């Protein structure tokens, strides 16, 4: 996506203590606000930042509006919304998501904020940042005092780990989520992670050894079979099938082209997920 710059490039940068970065442009400010939206607090609502926006970046109207929010003890959501609206850095849909998240965070502690931040990255398909946020959330979450938050963090951590093909770790996270929360979905995901992380023979042995629920195991196998049928109808499957035909006829140039295109697409998806 192409962003048109707004405002000036600051000759004297502003150091944002909460995020440990020096800012020169409104776009840099927006980037760090977006990436850390769920863990922000009212500490960033300083007159120094509003003054920097007004004088260094040359965005006088925005700077004065930010000053008004601070003076009137307005919300963090309103403060951040003004910045994003002026810059046009995010879409309207993403701005609504961020604004809603900030308003929700006003009622939760830091562990809840970290969990919300992880959810934000997870739903956007950014698994590595999501994993990091859930790990931070779990550090501040007492499983005895708040088993619900703990089990949700553990479950979503497992989703992020599975998205990065860390199936052994994902199985452990889903199991902990199930043990503490008792949510059926966590148990299903636990079975799926075990299935994906082991050979069919090893998985069958684990089913017997761990006494896993046979009905849910059967349901999982049926879902996998259904997914395999759907996968065979995908464009990537068709291209790879043609590539194998090329290989069988010693048509190596077409094989390299077809297989290379699919692999390049998969690599790009993985890079996005691991950002």
Could you report the per-residue pLDDT of 125-169, keeping only the tens digit for each? Answer: 889 989 999 999 999 888 998 999 999 999 999 999 999 999 999
- pLDDT at site 85: 93
**Are 115 and 133 in contact, with CB atoms under 8 Å apart?**
yes
Residue 123: which domain range? 110-231
Considering 107, 129, 149, which residue would you say is the last residue of a domain?
107
Residues 134 and 103 in one domain: no
For residues 183 and 259, which has the higher predicted lDDT (pLDDT)? 183
- Whether pTM > 0.85 for this model: the answer is no
**Number of structural domains found in the chain:** 3
CA distances to 11, 86, 189, 210, 220 from 224, rounded to whole Å, are 58, 47, 12, 21, 6
Exposed / middle / buried, residue 240 (Cβ in 10 Å: 0-12, 13-18, 19+): middle
Secondary structure class of 213 (helix, strand, coil): coil
- pLDDT at site 227: 56
Could you report the per-residue pLDDT of 170-229, keeping only the tens digit for each? Answer: 999 999 999 999 999 999 999 999 998 998 899 889 989 989 888 988 888 777 666 555
Q: 63: which 2 tokens?
A: 């700077």
Residues 121 and 199 in one domain: yes
Mean pLDDT of 43-64: 94
For residues 1 and 81, which has the higher predicted lDDT (pLDDT)? 81
Residues 23 and 37 in one domain: yes
- pLDDT at site 247: 61
Mean pLDDT of 14-37: 89
Mean pLDDT of 227-254: 63
Query: Residue 2: is its pLDDT beyond 60?
Result: no
- pLDDT at site 61: 95
Residues 100 and 133 in one domain: no
Least confident of 73-82, 106-115, 262-271: 262-271
Mean pLDDT of 64-71: 96
- pLDDT at site 125: 87
- pLDDT at site 4: 56
Query: Residue 1: is its pLDDT beyond 60?
Result: no
- pLDDT at site 273: 54
Residues 114 and 227 in one domain: yes
Mean pLDDT of the chain, nearest integer: 84
Domain at 137, CATH number: 1.25.40.10
Round to whole Å and give the CA distance between 40 and 20: 13
Residues 26 and 87 in one domain: yes
Residues 225 and 254 in one domain: no
Considering 107, 130, 165, which residue would you say is the last residue of a domain?
107
Residues 211 and 151 in one domain: yes
Residues 114 and 160 in one domain: yes
For residues 67 and 103, which has the higher predicted lDDT (pLDDT)? 67
Considering 60, 75, 107, which residue would you say is the last residue of a domain?
107
- pLDDT at site 271: 62
- pLDDT at site 154: 96
How many other C-beta atoms lie within 10 A of the C-beta of residue 116?
20
Exposed / middle / buried, residue 61 (Cβ in 10 Å: 0-12, 13-18, 19+): exposed
- pLDDT at site 255: 62
Residues 189 and 131 in one domain: yes
Residues 156 and 211 in one domain: yes
Residues 172 and 137 in one domain: yes
């Amino acid at each position: 996506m192409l962003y048109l710059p707004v405002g000036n490039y600051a000759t004297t940068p502003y150091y944002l203590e909460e995020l440990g970065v020096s800012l020169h442009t409104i776009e840099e400010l927006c980037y760090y606000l977006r990436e850390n939206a769920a863990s922000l607090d009212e500490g960033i609502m300083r007159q120094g930042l509003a003054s920097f926006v007004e004088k260094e970046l040359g965005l006088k109207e925005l700077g004065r509006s930010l000053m008004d929010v601070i003076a009137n003890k307005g919300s963090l959501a309103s403060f951040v919304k003004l910045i994003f609206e002026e810059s046009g850095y995010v879409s309207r849909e993403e701005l609504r998501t961020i604004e809603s998240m900030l308003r929700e965070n006003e009622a939760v502690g830091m562990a809840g904020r970290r969990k919300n931040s992880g959810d934000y990255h997870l739903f956007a398909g950014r698994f590595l940042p999501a994993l990091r946020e859930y790990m931070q959330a779990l550090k501040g979450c007492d499983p005895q005092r708040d088993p619900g938050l703990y089990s949700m963090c553990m479950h979503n951590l497992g989703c992020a780990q599975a998205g990065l093909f860390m199936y052994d770790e994902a199985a452990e996270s889903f199991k902990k989520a199930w043990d503490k929360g008792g949510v059926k979905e966590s148990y299903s995901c636990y079975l799926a992670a075990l299935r994906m992380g082991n050979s069919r023979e090893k998985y069958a042995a684990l089913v017997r050894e761990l006494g896993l629920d046979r009905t849910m195991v059967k349901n999982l196998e049926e879902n996998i079979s259904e997914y395999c049928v759907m996968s065979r109808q995908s464009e990537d499957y068709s291209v790879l099938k043609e590539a194998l035909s090329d290989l069988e006829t010693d048509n190596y140039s077409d094989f390299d082209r077809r297989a290379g295109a699919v692999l390049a697409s998969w690599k790009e998806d993985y890079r996005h997920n691991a950002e």
